[in-house]
Structure 1
Amino acid sequence: MASDLELLCAYVNEKIGNIKKILSLRNLGQDPALKTTFRKIGDEIVMVNELLNQFELEIQYQEQINSSLKELCESLEEEFKDVEHLKEHIPSHLPQVTVAQSLADKPNLDPKEPVEAEEPVLAKKPPKEQRIIKEMQFITTAEFDGVPAYMKSRLTYCQINDVIKEINKAVVSKYKIMYQSKASMSSAKRNLYQRFINEETKDTKGRFFIVEADIKDFTALKADKRFHVILNILRHCQRLSEVRGGGLTRYVIT
């Protein structure tokens, strides 16, 4: 018990000592001769803090690169094992096809007998032309490095590309409904289709765009402050533009 009291007293005395130091430093800060020095120290602390933030982002990026390289090495090792296995089990000889396949199927044909003509196989109808849905391209490391520090804050390269992946999911989901036959639509999809049509403007005609409602309907993203910061970065990297009107912001894929 005495030991616990001693530890408690030591802890309280340490806190009291810290308070005295803080009060002493505050009094020193009122000295006009030292104000300039303290201001310079404050500026240096801010610079060091920004540098540490940059180090943190770089470490996260290098960890992601390292993880990707490990996965690549593991994949290459598996491929190498497969190649070695094939190399060790090559057969001594391979069978050779000496008869045409059409004759091989009918080895006992008499050349004097008439050959029945085979019914022609009807060619399959070519599939309908698929409409291409434009998706946003991922940003490169060079583009990420070119984004001003104040704009990307503590966001990482991979976090931004993860959001691009979700935006592309919303774009594909929306335009699959737009290109679907109305006769095959459920009532819910018809309501979505009508909303999509109502959101079109002359400035978005022939272009691919989404709105925040599409983000909510088709992705797990939240249209919060962080999301809008990433949208600013994507505008800076010329991945999207905005078309406003009717109280609605349309994010157009560029």
Structure 2
Amino acid sequence: MNMAELEDFSKRIQERLASVQRMLDLSIIDLPQNKMKKLGQVLFAIEGILEESEKYVSRQKDQLQHLKTLEQSSQKYLEDLRHLQDNIPEHLPKKKNQVNEPVKVQTNTEDNQSRQPEKVKKVCKGYIKEMEIITIPEYESIPQYMKGRVTYDQLNAAVLCINASVSSKYKILHQPTKTLNNHSRKLHQRFKEQETKDTKGQFFIVEADIREFSETKVDKKFQGILNMLRHCQRLKELRGGGITRYVLL
């Protein structure tokens, strides 16, 4: 109901009330039967108008409540946006490392055509794979029972820890053994012994590597974080020889 309708509504009530007032002023004398009937009609019309006004007031109350709910939601969204603006996470997703991959040039000779199915892509020597940072939508998709009290920043801190451990491990593996000191040479030997045919060409670490190259405690909480990373398809487990290998995907 707009302003014009409201004014018309008020005018109708005033006219009815004025009519009733005139009849009441004449009530000191006997009114004809037709006047009494008209008075009843006027009172009935006023009753209808009052019922209509009550419905209108009820609708306005509902709209007011709806507007208050929208205002609260808008305020919450505004606060969330301000919080995001003031707390931009340090760990932002980044593109995977791209390596220039040499490709063999195809010729028309039968010799080269026969070798065409062979591998044409090679990973540059020294390349070390990194796990991508978990995005906020990925974090929110993790079931609450699995997430527990681990925050978004704690989860990505574990990602950086694993990346650092992988980097330290494969830097040793990429060096000639004769250039390593005694401790690194022992680690190099252990790394080689832990490799299997299933890990060939892949990057993986074990719990001992995390303890070796970081100060992170590999406890029950960290195991839960590994399950979250597995849920986000950042790594997978390969078991064998009494060792669990965490392979980067």
TM-score by length of 2: 0.52
Partner residue in 1 for 2:88:
68
**Runs of at least 4 residues of structure 1 off by over 6 A?**
59-62
Within the candidate set 218, 231, 234, 2:229 is matched to 234
- Is 1:211 aligned to residue 206 of structure 2? yes
Alignment partners' CA distance in 2, 1:169 and 1:61:
32
Alignment partners' CA distance in 2, 1:61 and 1:163:
26
Within the candidate set 163, 169, 177, 1:174 is matched to 169
* SS of residue paired to 1:135: coil
Residue segments in structure 1 that go unaligned for 5+ positions in a row: 1-58, 70-128
Alignment partners' CA distance in 2, 1:193 and 1:184:
11
Alignment partners' CA distance in 2, 1:220 and 1:230:
16
Aligned residues: 137
Within the candidate set 137, 155, 163, 2:158 is matched to 163
Question: 2:126, 2:171 within 8 Å by CA — same for their partners in 1?
Answer: no
TM-score by length of 1: 0.51
Deviations along 1:36-74, one digit per CA (max 9) or x if unpaired, are: xxxxxxxxxxxxxxxxxxxxxxx99986752338xxxxx
Deviations along 1:201-251, one digit per CA (max 9) or x if unpaired, are: 111111000001000000111110100000000000000000000000000
Alignment partners' CA distance in 1, 2:81 and 2:184:
40
Residue segments in structure 2 that go unaligned for 5+ positions in a row: 1-78, 90-123
Q: Percent identity?
A: 50
* SS of residue paired to 1:206: coil
1:54-203 paired onto structure 2 within 5 Å: 66-68=86-88, 130-203=125-198
Question: 1:61, 1:157 within 8 Å by CA — same for their partners in 2?
Answer: no
Bigger radius of gyration: 2
